[in-house]
Amino acid sequence: MKAVQYREIGKGPEVVEIETPEPGPGQIRLRVTAAGLCHSDWFVMDLPAEAYTYGLPLTLGHEGAGIVDKLGDGVEGIELGGSYAIYGPWGCGLCHACAQGQENYCTRAAELGIQPPGLGAPGAMAEYVIVDDKRHLVPLGDLDPVEVVSLTDAGLTPYHAIVAAKDHLRAGSTAVVLGVGGLGHVGVQIIRAISGATVIAVDTSDEKLALAKEVGAHHTVVSGPDAAAQIRELTGGQGAEAVFDFAGVQPTIDIAREVVAVNGNIHIVGIGGGLLPTGFFSTPFGASVRAPYWGSRSELMEVLDLARVGAVDVHVERYGIDDAPDAYARLHHGEVRGRAVVIP
Ligand code: NAD
Ligand code: ZN
Ligand code: ZN
């Protein structure tokens, strides 16, 4: 089968021919219908050899969907031919966090060497993918896998962050979205769908800001030295009750710190390497800072339900598998509008 792999440190992704995998006991093989590209793939591929822990070669793709095509020994209760999304943050299934469906916060995954597909385990950017357990599949029903595959990360991750901030997002409140790329453009829509907040979107790119407006942002602000002052002004000097940073670079983290309201909260989702120094006088009274990771199984079901009722619509750029390296290059250069999705 064809697969998109990261094979050598410092070299970009490549399309290669590899053996089609067979499902082991308890596992399920999917024929992949769609796989999304995430900026985290570039985080991984930009790591120096001494910091790289994902194994080589690595089949990419931690946003995946497919049709059940073969069952390993002992798998019951799932039909061949069904269309599913893959829940990516695999956990042990037994610890307290996993028992709550929060496998993203599994306390034993690291110790047991469990890694998500595309981030250690072979990912979905291939013609076939192996899923370790049927609990990591969520039925798509009539949803178009290409349209919704990115909700497994670019939807689930913002949804998890935003749900945690819901008490701060009452009518009359303000939410700031920093970075309106794959995650951010879905984040804007989720805030609009589940809260009464006014949304201010911030990005360096005018095209991304236009997309933010299109998907429901009330205001847009160009990222830069004046952004914080503009946001303060838009909020009558109060600042924002919740700030979602989907870039996580130093300039956005600085904006987050400058615009968060008294008792507000900052959610650092982007892994751009910026730091937010915390101390009593570094943020307003009562403000809190959180660094959420991915989301829970039930939250994935919920964000897919938002797509089902038309409240969330991923803006998709479609690519064949041979064009995946070009799509990755576009992502690297900030040129993707919404999310790039490979259809193998
Ligand atoms: P993306 O490239 O699609 O979007 C990033 C956006 O940030 C772009 O629109 C870009 O123009 C904007 N941006 C960059 N610098 C900026 C600045 N200084 N000010 C304002 N905007 C700026 O990336 P993505 O796939 O949406 O991922 C976003 C981030 O989230 C990445 O760091 C990714 O690794 C991370 N991520 C984290 C989790 C998690 O669980 N915490 C999950 C998925 C992705
Ligand atoms: Zn991701
Ligand atoms: Zn666990």
Token pair recorded at residue 330: 């576009």
Above 90 in pLDDT, residue 278?
A: no
> From CA 212, how far away is CA 188, in angstroms rounded?
7
Domains and CATH numbers, the chain: 2-151+296-343 (3.90.180.10), 156-290 (3.40.50.720)
Token pair recorded at residue 16: 């290669």
The atom of ligand 1 lying closest to the CA of 248 is 32
pLDDT reported for residue 177: 99
Q: Quick count: other Cβ atoms within 10 Å of Cβ 310?
A: 8
pLDDT reported for residue 333: 97
> From CA 152, how far away is CA 294, in angstroms rounded?
9
The atom of ligand 1 lying closest to the CA of 331 is 2
Residue at token pair 């194994």: 55
pLDDT digits (tens, 9 = 90+) for 209-221: 999 999 999 999 9
ipTM for the assembly = 0.99
Taking residues 66-87, what's their average pLDDT?
97
> From CA 62, how far away is CA 197, in angstroms rounded?
30
pLDDT digits (tens, 9 = 90+) for 141-159: 999 999 999 999 999 999 9
Three-state secondary-structure class, residue 316: strand
Three-state secondary-structure class, residue 334: coil
Ligand 1 pocket test target in 38, 180, 211, 213 with most atoms within 8 Å of CB? 38
**Ligand 2 ion: residues within 5 Å (CB):** 38, 40, 153
Is 247:182 a contact under the CB 8 Å cutoff?
no
pLDDT digits (tens, 9 = 90+) for 230-270: 999 999 999 999 999 999 999 999 999 999 999 999 999 99
> From CA 81, how far away is CA 87, in angstroms rounded?
18
Q: Which amino acid is at 117?
A: P
Report the interhelical angle of 227-234 vs 250-259 (nearest 10°).
30
Mean pLDDT over all residues of the chain? 98
Residue 114 CA, ligand 3 centroid: distance in Å = 10
